[in-house]
A and B are shown apart, each in its own frame.
Chain A
Amino acid sequence: MERQSAVFTVFVYAAALLLAAVILAPILWLFVMSISSAADLSTKPLNWWPEEIDLSRYRLLLSTIENSAGAAFTASLFNSLKVAGMATLAAIAVAIPAAWAVSRTSNVSWSLYAVIATYMLPPVALAVPLYMGLAYLGLLNSVFGLALVYLTILAPFTTWLLKSGFDSIPKEIESAAMIDGARLDQILRLITLPLAAPVMATSALFAFLLAWDEFFYALLFTSDLRAKTLTVAISDLAGGRVSDYGLIATAGVLAALPPVLIGLVMQRALISGLTSGGVKG
């Protein structure tokens, strides 16, 4: 690729810029909306940049005065964090033994396919049985109930990802550790899991995002501040007779922040997890 023409180079850069613009434009617009006044958002022709920067909505949503819109929003933010966090931790905890067993025992790999097959069902097919189950257990409108439901979605996914991660760790390393006298828990703790750390980080992040963005089950199984998650809270903002688009945009920006922050923190592990198919011995 050393002898490409200038035209081609320009074309490549132009295409890259276009792609970046397409991806970033909605996010940028979301942010602009969140800091525009209601008047700016409803004028014709549209004001692409607000006359004055209006941060009142951020103050509104982040206020902690009781019974305010802000209290409802922050409550839902914490609910989302709790539900997604619990579901992710549980999904990783379940996936580690399951994925290791499937990766090291090819005889039982069919079981993973069976679990993945249930994954193919549309959520709506499971909505009624899940609702009845949660009602029976008294877990409707509870962060624990919702986390439990999310676990059923996340666990097959994290198991699948972790299995491919474990597959790339040579079996001989574990055999060597076994001969060296390590027990199974020591092998996992000292060797296999540290080697699988990038894959675990990747699957944890994706699991967290999946739970964070989930809307359908959250809408069905939660009804008030005790368990309502962000996605439902945002839809509530749009549900009234008068919709403040700026407010919805602000909620969107705030909802996007936690996953972005987590992603930034885990960036290094994430990149090596996404790019390295294997761990070199």
Chain B
Amino acid sequence: MNLSLLILVPLLTAVAVLLGNGLKQIRAIAFIGSLVQLGLAANLLYVFLQSKGAGNTAPMLFEYNASWFAPLHINYHVGVDGISIAMILLTSLIVVAGILVSWSMEKLSKEYFFLLVLLSMGAYGFFISLDLFTLFFFLEIAVIPKFLLIGIWGSGNKTNSAMKLALMLMAGSALVFVGLMGIFYNTHTFDIMEIAKMQIPLQVQLFFFPFAFLGFGIFAALFPFHTWVPDGHASAPTAASMFLAGISMKLGGYGCLRVATYLMPEAAHSYSWIIILLATIAIIYGAFATMMQTDLKYINAYSSISHCGFVILGIGMLTKTSINGAVIQMVSHGLMTALFFAAIGMIYSRTHTRMVAQLGGLLKVMPFIATTFVIAGLCSLGLPGFSGFVAEMTVFMGSWQNADGMYRLATIISAASIVVTAVYILRATGKSIMGPIHQEHEVLLDATWNEKLAAILLITGIVIIGMAPFLITNLIGPSTDNLMLQIGKAITLK
């Protein structure tokens, strides 16, 4: 399959959105575009599995390499493995859902859908890039739409949140850029697959790994650079929150894995105790900070910090199972948090409040939305049958395999955070969904067809992973093996 289609379709959709007229036409264009993209992603999965089934063991499939700036060794090089396909599927699902929940965006609808599609294009390009410069290009493309989406269509203290988010992410990409320069001038190529074959000297790795890892870590809400997350998510319009938590934070996790850890494994090994320390702090701090929140969006945003900590933890532990778990957690958290934000958005658009104290008994008037909310909550606290359980279990099992005593302690502490998660999720759900209903809320209506469709799409993803985890482990397993070949070699060398 030609991977460039994954960039081309959003690009054409964006252009078509600009040419469209009126909300109805524009949302139809955006919706069709995102459906085509979902179809492409499904097709990609199909041909990938077929090719793997036929015994193709190449680390990257469907590669395409064209020179972009030849004198600077910058190529447009794309290719996918199981991990990137998982991320692409996640992205396309969230984009469809995001467009569905923005169905009645009256304010500047053309600009709104244009930016949403542009943001998704950045994410697709990022996940398929095998050239560091191209990857960086797409990483930064995804920043500006977020700034505008939050600043123009957001709520609350929106301009400050937008500015904070944009500047912190830009600082992240500045660090990433320094890391890339270091890699480039020590290998004279931007090609990820080429670099992986080379041995970057340990001194160089030790110097540049922190730049790359911290840079991507800012995107992934790594403690203590997580501060853009709560404000950004809370101020963003619903679809932007979904994109932000569901897609954008995954760019960071994927970058930490594919660029920082994969290309500089020795340094990753040397620094793993710092990574794990930060991840553990994020998990615990995120969980306890969530306990104190009264705004539904803040609850989800802080819990995202905690959940993304698992991704970083899994990567930092450097075992095959833990990295598998990190990838599954990225997908699972993406779907779950997007569902959560969608449900919160639906509740907010009806009740005009997100305060837990001002809500109650919503199950009576809007059973569908309330159920969606509960499912997202249960997935978040890791109930078996949903994807959250699979992901967290895999991370913990993988982390336990790392036999270092302190690392096991970190694993135990992290695992204990699930109890805290259960407390805040059950409390928020109980107070807002159950209990007596507020009088003025009695007349509210349940979800419309588009909102139902969005929720069902995301729930399907969550349940499939939860019920049949072998599907995703089979998809990403061989690719993780490939990564581990590189990482394992580095660890045994030491």
Report if A and B associate in a common complex.
Answer: no
Using a CB–CB cutoff of 8 Å, the interface residues on chain A facing chain B are: none
- Give B contacts to A, CB under 8 Å: none
